[in-house]
Amino acid sequence: MAELPEDLQYTEDHLWVRPGNGDEVRIGITETAVARFGGIVGISLPDVGAVLSRGDVLAEIETDDESVDIETPVGGEVVAVNAVAAETPDQIAADPFGDGWLVAVEIDDPTDLEDLLDVDAYSALDEQE
């Protein structure tokens, strides 16, 4: 597995969050999640402008065997979706920490970020599983 980017924050559910300009963050799934899903054959993302509360379904990932709901770790308004990843789900597996991002959200409450893990805490969690 590739080294985890240190500029990201992580969730116990194997999502990553990249802070951007102001209150905007990008969200994606980690390599661990990609490996667990196996082949990703489809993904449903919210519309730009959708307002999500923390814990709402952010995306639905379809694999060969199942459909998995991904919950958002932060609340806010969706300001961008990765149309390339939605149209070509292989992009998520090919570059999960880069071009395979899922959505960008302008967060409502910056304290949502306080519950996320830094790279060391996530690495320790990932090694335990």
pLDDT digits (tens, 9 = 90+) for 31-47: 999 988 888 999 999 99
Give the model's confidence band at 2: pLDDT under 50 very low, under 70 low, under 90 confident, else very high: low
pLDDT beyond 90 at 127: no
Q: Which residues contact 83 (CB under 8 A, 6 or more apart)?
A: none
pLDDT beyond 90 at 129: no
| Residues 56-114 pLDDT 10s | 999 999 998 899 999 999 999 999 999 999 999 989 989 999 999 999 999 999 999 99
Q: Domains (ranges, CATH) in the chain?
A: 9-123 (2.40.50.100)
**Per-residue confidence (pLDDT) for residue 8, from 0 to 100:** 96
Q: In which residue are the tokens 């320790």 written? A: 124
| Residues 13-25 pLDDT 10s | 999 999 988 899 9
DSSP secondary structure string, 37-94?
H-SEEEEE-PPTT-EE-TTSEEEEEEESS-EEEEE-SS-EEEEEE-HHHHH-THHHHH
